[in-house]
Structure 1
Amino acid sequence: MTEAVQKTYLDHLREDRRYAAMVGLGFSSGMPFMLVYVTQSAWLSEARVPLQLIGLMSWLTFAYKLKFLWAPLLDQFDAPILSRLLGRRRGWIVASQIGVALTLAGVAFGDPGARLWWTILFSAALGVAGATQDIVIDGWRINAAPLEKQPLMGSFAEMGYRVGNLAAGAGALYLADRFGWRAAYLCMAALMAPGMISALAAPEPAIDLVAARHSERPGLAAAIWAPIKELFTRLGPLAVPVLLLIAGFRMPGYLTGAMAMPLFKSLHFSDSEIATVTKIFGFGIAMAGVFACSWLVPRIGLMSSMLLGTVAASAAHLSLAWLAGHGGEFWAFAFAVGVEAFAASFATIVLITFMSSLSKAEFAGSQYSLMTSLCAMPGFFLAGFSGLIVEKTGFVLFFQLTSLIGLPVALLCFWLWRHHREAFSLHHAPGAPMEH
């Protein structure tokens, strides 16, 4: 048993400031996405913005799907002034956090009922700033700790991220109900402070300090193409199956997420019951999945955990199919949400670790962003048709079908596990060529 496994989470937080910084950075990363559209949609509804326009404004989150386009620039170039003071990674982190805070303040001083263009402008800018923050935080996480510590780094990031989601979701709604939307968004801007403090306290990765001193500044086209070329060259013949695995790994989750809330409302659960089960109870269960994954990966290996994660996450959707057919008992609701939340959080951490293992230090932010965009795109587009499918099939068959989507992904994962597990072990250097 390794020393990392024997220690408790509190031991790690006390002994290594990288983990504590990761919690704070995860918190600031978890806030903007909710505030671009999900939480703001309640404000738009209150302002009587037409439903068609509210739906179209969900596209403001598209920056998160396209972040791979400018991620290479953040890997190769410094942030003005801040990078000279803090290093390239931390300089960009603080710059993006300032951008998030300023755009949140911009949204706060808008009025979607009277000046919708103002809200759209600052919300779009918020999406870009939030996506930029994700790029540089992921790059810092990958380079700040060795691969064998990435399950713990991912777990601490997920802890902070989910608390940030709570603050930007339930917290912002509570503040808006009590003090108004302007105060709520200004408070959210102020809550970027813990992330900035974490960025200032975090160590700049040594490999980035060396790279910043000795690297040449590439041209724009070279900066964008270099990480893609390096990833495909290193993976070799495994590039296609690996990227297909990433693209399909969370696809069932995106489809399920789009129709979960309509299912709960169709079963006549109240808003308070949904909030209690999905936000409070579900948060605790999801954290249990995070802890279980970081505990298990060092014991059974990365590819074994990937196989377990994809099977569990897909099969867990059967709990929602069971709920749809079983009826509206509260205990059944809590059970189904708990099963799905545990499996989804477990799968998320193991996927984060897997993608981190594939990212070379020099291109950490851009390669990881490319893979997260690849992971999100298929499910993001298919989720748009989920309502049409439910109208034809009903909820029970819909969730049964989404669980079956995970079958070919599990078979692909099994093939990689059987024939190439050593190439994806926690002790395989990210920059080393894959063994075929």
Structure 2
Amino acid sequence: MFSKYFAVFNNRRICAAMLLGFASGLPLALTGSTLQAWLSDAGLDIKTIGWFTLVGQPYTWKFLWSPLVDRFPMPLLGRRRGWILVSQIALALTIATMSGLDPKTHLATFALLAVMIAFFSATQDVVIDAYRTEVLQPEERGAGAAVGVFGYRMAMLTSGAIALILADGYLTWEQTYLVMAALMGGMALITFIAPEPRLQIRPPRTLSEAVFAPLQEFFSRKGAWILLALVIGYKLGDAFAGSLSTKFLLDMGYSKSIIGQAYKVFGLVATLLGGFLGAILMLRWGLFRSLLIFGLLQAFTNLGYWLIAVHGSPDIGLLMFAISAENLAGGMGTTAAVALLMSLCNPNFTATQYALLSALASFGRVYVGPASGYLVVSLGWANFFVASAIIAIPGLLLVWWLRQTIEQLDQSTNESQADL
């Protein structure tokens, strides 16, 4: 009976979403945790390594140049795939160039190359998000989000854990980054064979139109500000619960190795399973019902950490249960949230609108840390996790309040695809 739901995963568009998700995630660790390990092995001091954490700023500000992607199509491979190809070639060349340098003797050049990798990677993210939104049919968006997250996580393991293993006695750091550059170059082949979106849209005629028309179009919609509040608030409780989770578990007496194993094994598997389960259920339930139920599950599973706090002493079984439940619900919620962002984008301005909406959606994940610290001091750990569940309630109320709008989004996108 479930064959019709699994069938959505079996087509070129979904395959392209997964493989391009891998391409999107591959550069991330190369300017983050893996880069820090290389710098540490090279003998750089902690202050210098700390400054290198700023090289990832382009990921935060990518919406600033997203209008250029909408305005100026490349002369080959269509409006989106041409930009993806250029970004991937630039990434492969920049990573390869970095692999030929010693960070200790060429520190300034090394830092510049790291910023360039982050810039090209952020640009690739903008275009891949736009491409995925345009190439997937409405009923495929949940599946596309799930396989995209799967590809992204596998890429982060490749450029993170696998790169560290390679550099730990098998290859030098220079050779390891050269391997990563070759993998990135190989992604260009995926871009060549990826299907072109059926819906062909005229790009904005001027740069001014590319910058301002997406905002004008979005805010001309009824309830635009409430929709933005939903985008920010839907994952806010989840963001609070996860913001200081490692510190919490350390305070509860769990060892660093146990925490790492729990997140890397149980957390990763549960997140991926939640993404795929969410995609299947979205086909059955639709966007509104999925957002509501997955949001409720996100809030409820935050209380798994409350159970750990109330229990007081380390319990491996309870830890695995809490992390698995939270990540399972989080994976389902992420699938529905990504599908919502896709449905909110006007095809004329997909790159710009998705970049802006995704930046707002990540607001909680990026900025709740300081507030979480104060809440923990004021409330204690157990009450903090109860508060994180309560913080999720406004987002759920917004889903309920916007029921008609969300159902119309679901219906209108299906009708627009049927007209093609």
TM-score by length of 1: 0.86
SS at match of 1:206: coil
Alpha-carbon offset, residue 322 of structure 1? 2.3
AA in 2 matched with 1:151: G
Rounded to whole Å, the distance in 2 between the matches of 1:262 and 1:118 is 35
Match of 2:210 in 1: 223
SS at match of 1:39: helix
Pair 1:184–1:316, CA change in 2 (3 A) = farther
Counterpart of 2:166 (choices 165, 175, 192) is 175
Matched, 1:33 2:17: no
Match of 1:323 in 2: 308
Contact preservation (8 Å) 1:255, 1:402: yes
Counterpart of 2:347 (choices 356, 361, 374) is 361
Pair 1:412–1:8, CA change in 2 (3 A) = closer
Match of 2:230 in 1: 245
AA in 1 matched with 2:189: I
Rounded to whole Å, the distance in 1 between the matches of 2:31 and 2:51 is 13
Alpha-carbon offset, residue 106 of structure 1? 3.7
AA in 2 matched with 1:284: V
Pair 1:165–1:262, CA change in 2 (3 A) = same
Rounded to whole Å, the distance in 2 between the matches of 1:410 and 1:186 is 46
Pair 1:395–1:121, CA change in 2 (3 A) = farther
AA in 2 matched with 1:119: F
Within 5 A, what are the aligned runs for 1:16-415? 16-79=11-74, 84-178=75-169, 179-208=171-200, 211=202, 215=203, 217-218=205-206, 220-233=207-220, 235-236=221-222, 238-326=223-311, 327-387=313-373, 389-391=375-377, 393-415=379-401
Alpha-carbon offset, residue 183 of structure 1? 2.6
SS at match of 2:199: helix
AA in 1 matched with 2:120: A
AA in 2 matched with 1:86: L
> How many residues are treated as equivalent by the alignment?
414
Pair 1:63–1:180, CA change in 2 (3 A) = same
Range 368-377 or range 378-387, more displaced: 378-387
Pair 1:325–1:124, CA change in 2 (3 A) = farther
Pair 1:216–1:249, CA change in 2 (3 A) = closer
> What is the CA deviation profile of residues 85-113 of structure 1, one whole-angstrom value per residue up to 9, with x for unaligned ones?
31121111111112222232344334444
Alpha-carbon offset, residue 301 of structure 1? 1.8
Unaligned runs of 5+ in 1: none
Alpha-carbon offset, residue 413 of structure 1? 1.5
Pair 1:269–1:169, CA change in 2 (3 A) = farther
Match of 1:428 in 2: 412
Pair 1:52–1:241, CA change in 2 (3 A) = farther
Pair 1:340–1:367, CA change in 2 (3 A) = same
AA in 2 matched with 1:227: P
Contact preservation (8 Å) 1:313, 1:343: yes
Pair 1:216–1:405, CA change in 2 (3 A) = closer
Question: Percent identity between the aligned chains?
Answer: 33
Alpha-carbon offset, residue 420 of structure 1? 3.5
Contact preservation (8 Å) 1:360, 1:430: no
Unaligned runs of 5+ in 2: none
Alpha-carbon offset, residue 272 of structure 1? 4.0
Match of 2:4 in 1: 7
Alpha-carbon offset, residue 307 of structure 1? 1.4
Alpha-carbon offset, residue 116 of structure 1? 3.5
Pair 1:318–1:35, CA change in 2 (3 A) = farther
Rounded to whole Å, the distance in 2 between the matches of 1:176 and 1:406 is 42
Contact preservation (8 Å) 2:24, 2:125: yes
TM-score by length of 2: 0.90
Alpha-carbon offset, residue 138 of structure 1? 1.1
SS at match of 1:412: helix
Q: Provide the alpha-carbon RMSD of the alignment.
A: 2.5
Contact preservation (8 Å) 1:361, 1:430: no
AA in 1 matched with 2:332: F
Rounded to whole Å, the distance in 2 between the matches of 1:430 and 1:51 is 53
Rounded to whole Å, the distance in 1 between the matches of 2:87 and 2:316 is 42
AA in 2 matched with 1:72: P
Contact preservation (8 Å) 1:63, 1:131: yes
Match of 2:402 in 1: 416
Contact preservation (8 Å) 2:83, 2:127: yes
Contact preservation (8 Å) 2:252, 2:314: yes
Pair 1:191–1:261, CA change in 2 (3 A) = farther
Rounded to whole Å, the distance in 2 between the matches of 1:377 and 1:387 is 17
